[in-house]
A and B are shown apart, each in its own frame.
Chain A
């Protein structure tokens, strides 16, 4: 008898019962509220937090796909699951690849600044007998401090292959640009040093001469450093 009424068995395969929607809805509310709480309360920070909220988003996607879209519960063979899987794979390649390439772009650029930085980063100080401008070893350390809107010392004297650290001891973030206002130059492959409050950044003095720098948003705060060969 049951063979004559195949439609009798169909409602059981029919996706989307009330319970499945309610479970899916509750789970998705939870998976939205939890990452929101984490971000607001700052229970974890930095990359851990980023990884956690991305994990919650992925979990949320799976919940919705299973409970709302009923993927994988349709007629077999499951071409739509295959299609979904390959789409997710393509997106992973596009998104992951874009981020990877753009973050490493300065390694593949040819301007002097970029190749200097590359040489510096990789410790390539000579190619076929020609100096690349990279330092073989770093010598003395110098420091410039910004505190309560003042730079000290105003002028730093240094030798080639010394390092210079910019420290920000102010209560606000500072951006240091090279050159004289309003122009912006580059030094050691950097156009701008973004200093968080209490943070610092170090450059390698790989070019001799006298160089000016100024606070990007407040050019009155300015200074210079002289590098002798």
Chain B
């Protein structure tokens, strides 16, 4: 379970208040959309979760542990509990699909045997096992996002964080990707997705947390995209 308790984030260099008095809980296995205009504070929430930045005030609990207090050297181990997918895919261009996914396992010290078993398995889950030897530039945008998804999933994370994962995709491909996300969620992985994709949010009818000027202005089960403020 994830819990934000009175979280405030002020960026020291600019003095901008990115998040103010944020309080919410996300249960294990939930699918949550973070919506709001650009600069509202959605990405700040994902960055705080990954400890890419730390809170100014408040606590963030992950399964009962306050992650704002963990020492820097423990951050990599926190991140191993999470998978992350970005709008721009962030694949290694000089490595094949297989190597991109394999790399994520190698980084965390998986054995060759584990890698040989798990990588084809996860590529199959995202429907890309037949393109394992291709380079990212030989793939369509949707396929590249699937590779990024496979990489995020390969270490069986508890939480999958996605920042505008369909931002660079056409509506049809975006829906295909969302089907995969839904399938992953059905398997028990918690999904937190920051998005501007109104159609997707409205269609999927999941929990919606709306952020506006750093404040949580709406937290609605089975919500839609509309902006409150």
Do A and B come together as binding partners?
A: no
- B→A interface (CB under 8 Å): none
Name A's B-contacting residues (CB within 8 A). Answer: none
